[in-house]
Amino acid sequence: MSSEILDLHSTATSEDSITGIQYHAYNPYTNSFKNSDEIHIVIQHQDLYVLPHESYIYIEARAKVTPAANATAAQQVAPCYVNNAASFLFDEIRYELNGFLIDSCKNVGITSSVKGYATFQPKDMSHMEIASWKKESNKTVANESVNFCIPLANILGFTEDYRNIVMNAKHELILVRSRSDTNCYVGANNIASLEIQKIQWRIPHVAVSDTEKLKLMKIIDKKQPIQLNFRSWELYEYPTVPNTMKHIWSVKTSAQLNTPRYIIVAFQTNRNNRITADKSRFDHCQLSDLKVYLNSECFPYENLNVNFGTNVYAVLYDMYVRFQKTFYHDRQAFAATPLLTFEEYKNIAPIFVIDCSRQNESLKKSIVDIRIEIETRVNFEDNTSAYCIIIHDNMIAYNPYTNIVNRIM
């Protein structure tokens, strides 16, 4: 047993380096939040210590339901919000530091849904209801006011991974409204819309003791850059997959810096901009095998040989479960607990997670060609879209003295 229990003269210590953490709300330049609008929220003051990791987007909106034309009251079916509905309000979100693009998220609803299914745990669900996360039945859309708090860490890899303060910098959050609100809800005939009335970026300001402030000032005076290390979630879309049982998707050619660590593939059939289909769910499309090639190196090495028709997909579920353990391996006291059960994985979000974090040296020193080989037991149906999320390392250096931001190559 440790000798610490015998130390009767140990003294209590107190942590007083941080004297306060207060949330401050920042509003956009304009009050126009219509479909396709670009919304800019800027933090101009550069003498602040802010904590982007704990920041969130606050939204107030007015939901409106338009009854279906030529339908009786009995025939009208009230629409329901899809899971993660608030994120489907935006096509893109970008984070800039001193005018330099740090991180971005395209097709926010799809990317954040995949990210949530892969990284959330069951214990997160009660808190995440304020961000419209509810994987099962969801709230009915009615003519009423609604509000959401979307943690920025759910959307951007930078705000999830980088957990320190950022000081002496200009921050800008750019939100691009979606072209329509159709993907936010699902219903048989009634049409709904969400009219945003207020958007704020709420971010903590950190106040420190005089001793800590002096230490931080010395860091600035050294004129040395501070390194921001994080992992980006980069989405690539295949709008219409051909009606075949075997297809090769040439995703991209990646620079050495952006070599994939994980690749997540998902499919949707007849779900885009259709009020009768839930955009927050995904389809297995009777997948039988999936391989990712980085140049000539293959992940996984062996064939998967899965069959969703006979519920033979334990290998895919195991890959999904293992993702949390490997992705968050550096966090103490983190216990991997997947959000989806074995059955829910098939019916709600069969996302295919490929771990390619361990690579030979040749891939780390060359341009990497990324392609995906897909095999199914039946032809892909019409209007099937494929999504590929590449998770790769990102390294940014910013100098709090000169305000210069660079990407580390």
Q: Give 232-290 pLDDT, tens digit per residue.
A: 999 999 999 999 999 999 998 876 657 789 999 999 999 887 788 899 999 999 999 99
Q: What is the pLDDT of residue 139?
A: 79
Closest listed residue to residue 65, CA positions, set 151, 187, 155, 178: 187
Q: What is the pLDDT of residues 119-133, one digit of tens each?
A: 999 999 988 999 999
Residue 335 CB neighbour total at 10 angstroms: 9
Confidence category of residue 150, pLDDT binned at 50, 70, 90: very high
Closest listed residue to residue 265, CA positions, set 97, 390, 88: 390
Q: What is the pLDDT of residue 2?
A: 52
- Nearest 10 degrees: Cα torsion 133, 136, 137, 141: 20
Lowest mean pLDDT among 135-149, 151-165, 191-205, 382-396: 135-149
Q: How many helices (H) and strands (E) does the chain have?
A: 7, 21
Work out whether strand 384-398 and strand 260-269 pair parallel, antiparallel, or are unpaired.
antiparallel
Distance CA 264, CA 234 (A): 10
Chain position carrying tokens 């899965």: 306
Burial track 338-362 (b if 16+ CB lie within 10 A, e otherwise)? bbbeeeebbebbbbbbbbbeebeee
CB 150 within 8 A of CB 57: yes
Confidence category of residue 116, pLDDT binned at 50, 70, 90: very high
Any idea where the domains of the chain sit in the sequence? 16-228, 231-395
Q: What is the pLDDT of residue 344?
A: 95
Q: What is the pLDDT of residue 330?
A: 72
**Which residues on neighbouring strands pair with residue 375, listed in sequence order?**
246, 289
Looking at per-residue confidence, does 75 or 108 come out higher?
Answer: 108
- E-assigned strand segments in 44-167: 49-50, 56-66, 80-81, 90-97, 100-106, 144-151, 166-167
pTM of the model: 0.91
Q: Which CATH class for the 16-228 domain?
A: mainly beta
Domains 16-228 and 231-395 are alike in CATH topology: yes
Rounded to an integer, the average pLDDT of 130-148 is: 85
Q: What is the pLDDT of residue 140?
A: 84
Pick the CATH number of 231-395 from 3.40.190, 2.30.230, 2.70.9, 2.60.40: 2.70.9
